[in-house]
């Protein structure tokens, strides 16, 4: 039994989410978040053994929030067993095809990718440096959202743009949610008894952000998110794919700046934009059931665009064994799953209504015996980061 503990950190520009895994089990023992960092209302909250605690941090930044977290771990007698720290890093560019033990050269490369993820990578770097300052001897690991998709072939990651923009600016599809796609594809292959080396699955990670991925023999061969997480399927507040000429049209007609339009596409579109009321699928499903036509329309567009995108992903596969649903919507919304499967009838999918309503059979399967398989798999992103942290620090 491994009694060491591993802290997983997900730094955002004004927040720091964390969880602590003790030993080898997939369930985090302590979870929490430091929010509104670098404002006067900074606070940290955590949950341990069913008990929730919250402390105001004044004007704390990431470093002070970590200091408080380490003192909380000390008070709870959890600090001495702390063995390594894993960081979620959004962008690894073309440098990282897998997770990496953090060294000065790895940190330089993460920094070099900041131009590609200007909101996210600098936040991760702040977190990594703050840990290094306070606990200089602890091993740190970076786990990248993009790494899993580095196996995409050129014909799927290149855009139809002047090639020099790829060479000089790195304009290409990178893809995101890699840890989730990798984990749920692997789980589905295992649960369905597929031969990993001769398998094809499409994974649909549907949370606030949504993306799908074509996974051939356990490797990503295509994905819906692109240069940024804005591309692909419709999401909670992001539009997903649109005609790029809409930018110019809106700039001319409404006198909007590029930044205003990009903000609108990221923050006020998708489910929120179409429904006019919420980005939250649970709320929208309840509203639609109560007769709210805009909410119902938003769900219809979401499901149709998603199904269309899934169908197009099939092109990347040699065979198509199963469709995997995960994320808050994928795991919980029978409404969305049902609509998507019905749109995909032409690909041999047939929904088992009862199984779908009850969240799947014992394996998570929601289709009839004669259908191509669709299955629900709970994602475990933090646990994947913890496992890579354990593996890479054991080798160090
Ligand atoms: P994040 O990307 O922030 O991790 P989640 O994976 O938690 O997001 O997914 C959030 C989405 O899942 C929200 O749209 C939420 O309404 C939806 N969701 C969660 N539970 C349900 C449910 N029971 N029915 C429908 N949608 C749900």
pLDDT in tens, 136-179: 999 999 999 999 999 999 999 999 999 999 999 999 999 999 99
pLDDT value for 1: 55
Rounded to whole angstroms, the Cα distance separating 90 from 48 reads: 27
Phi, psi (5° rounding) for residue 351?
A: -75, 140
Average pLDDT score over residue span 310-336: 98
Q: Which atom of ligand 1 is nearest to the CA of 284?
A: 16
Average pLDDT score over residue span 114-133: 92
Same fold, 5-144 and 193-381: yes
pLDDT value for 24: 82
3-state SS, residue 34: strand
Q: Give the Å distance between the CA of 328 and the centre of ligand 1.
A: 3
Is 352 known to be catalytic?
A: no
Contact (CB, 8 A) for 268 and 279 = no
pLDDT value for 25: 87
Q: What is the mean pLDDT of the chain?
A: 96
Is any ligand 1 atom within 6 A of the Cβ of residue 208? yes
Rounded to whole angstroms, the Cα distance separating 344 from 358 reads: 21
Q: What is the 3-state secondary structure (H, E, C) of 101-166?
A: ECCHHHHHHHHHHHHCCCCCHHHHHHHHHHHHHHCCCCEEEEEECCHHHHHCCHHHHCCCCCHHHH
Q: Give the Å distance between the CA of 14 and the centre of ligand 1.
A: 22
The greatest distance separating any two alpha carbons of the chain, rounded to the nearest whole angstrom, comes to 65
Write out the H or E segment, with its range, that includes residue 51: strand 51-58
pLDDT value for 3: 82
Q: Which fold has domain 5-144?
A: Nucleotidyltransferase; domain 5 (3.30.420)
**pLDDT at residue 12 is higher than 90:** no
Ligand 1: which of 90, 180, 233, 282 to mutate, most ligand atoms within 8 Å of CB?
282
Ligand 1: which of 284, 329, 337, 379 to mutate, most ligand atoms within 8 Å of CB?
329
pLDDT in tens, 241-297: 999 999 999 999 999 999 999 999 999 999 999 999 999 999 999 999 999 999 999
Is any ligand 1 atom within 6 A of the Cβ of residue 15? no
pLDDT in tens, 14-58: 899 999 999 888 899 999 999 999 999 999 999 999 999 999 999
**pLDDT at residue 13 is higher than 90:** no
Ligand 1: which of 177, 328, 334 to mutate, most ligand atoms within 8 Å of CB?
328
From the list 61, 80, 145, 241, the catalytic residue is 145
Rounded to whole angstroms, the Cα distance separating 49 from 101 reads: 30
CATH number of 193-381: 3.30.420.40
Is any ligand 1 atom within 6 A of the Cβ of residue 266? no
Contact (CB, 8 A) for 128 and 7 = no
Domain edges within the chain: 5-144, 193-381
Contact (CB, 8 A) for 352 and 340 = no
**pLDDT at residue 114 is higher than 80:** yes
Is any ligand 1 atom within 6 A of the Cβ of residue 270? no
User: What's the N-to-C CA distance of the chain in angstroms?
Assistant: 20
Instruction: Report residue 112 as tokens.
Output: 């070099």
pLDDT value for 113: 95
Is any ligand 1 atom within 6 A of the Cβ of residue 236? yes
pLDDT value for 396: 66
pLDDT value for 54: 96
Write out the H or E segment, with its range, that includes residue 324: strand 322-326
């Amino acid at each position: 039994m491994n009694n060491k503990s591993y802290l997983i950190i997900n730094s955002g520009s004004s927040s720091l989410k964390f969880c602590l895994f003790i030993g080898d089990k997939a369930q985090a023992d302590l979870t929490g978040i430091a929010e509104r960092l670098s404002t006067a209302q900074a606070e940290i909250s955590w949950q341990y053994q069913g008990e929730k605690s919250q402390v105001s941090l004044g004007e704390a930044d990431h470093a002070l929030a970590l200091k408080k977290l380490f003192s909380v771990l000390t008070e709870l007698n959890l600090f001495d067993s702390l063995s390594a720290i894993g960081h979620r890093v959004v962008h690894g560019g073309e440098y990282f095809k897998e997770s990496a033990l953090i060294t000065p050269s790895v940190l330089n490369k993460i920094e070099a990718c900041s131009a590609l993820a200007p909101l996210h990578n600098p936040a991760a770097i702040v977190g990594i440096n703050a840990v290094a300052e306070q606990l200089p001897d602890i091993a740190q690991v970076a786990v990248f959202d993009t790494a899993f998709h580095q196996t995409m072939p050129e014909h799927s990651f290149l855009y139809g743009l002047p090639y020099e923009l790829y060479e000089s600016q790195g304009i290409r599809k990178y893809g995101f949610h890699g840890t989730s796609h990798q984990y749920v594809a692997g789980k589905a292959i295992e649960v369905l008894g597929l031969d990993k080396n001769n398998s094809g699955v499409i994974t649909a990670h549907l949370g606030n952000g949504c993306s799908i991925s074509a996974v051939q023999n356990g490797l990503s061969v295509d994905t819906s998110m692109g240069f940024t997480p804005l591309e692909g399927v419709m999401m909670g507040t992001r539009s997903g794919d649109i005609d790029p000429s809409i930018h110019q049209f809106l700039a001319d007609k409404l006198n909007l700046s590029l930044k205003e339009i990009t903000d609108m596409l990221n923050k006020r579109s998708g489910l929120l934009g179409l429904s006019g009321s919420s980005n939250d699928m649970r709320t929208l499903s309840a509203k639609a059931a109560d007769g709210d036509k805009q909410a119902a329309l938003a769900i219809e567009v979401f499901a149709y665009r998603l199904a269309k995108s899934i169908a197009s992903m099939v092109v990347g596969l040699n065979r198509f064994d199963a469709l995997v649903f995960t994320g808050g919507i994928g795991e919980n919304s029978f409404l969305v799953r049902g609509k998507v499967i019905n749109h995909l009838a032409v690909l041999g999918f047939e929904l088992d209504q009862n199984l779908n309503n009850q969240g799947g059979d014992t394996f998570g399967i929601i289709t009839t015996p004669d259908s191509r398989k669709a299955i629900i798999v709970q994602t475990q992103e933090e646990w994947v980061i913890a496992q890579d942290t354990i593996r890479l620090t054991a080798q160090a």
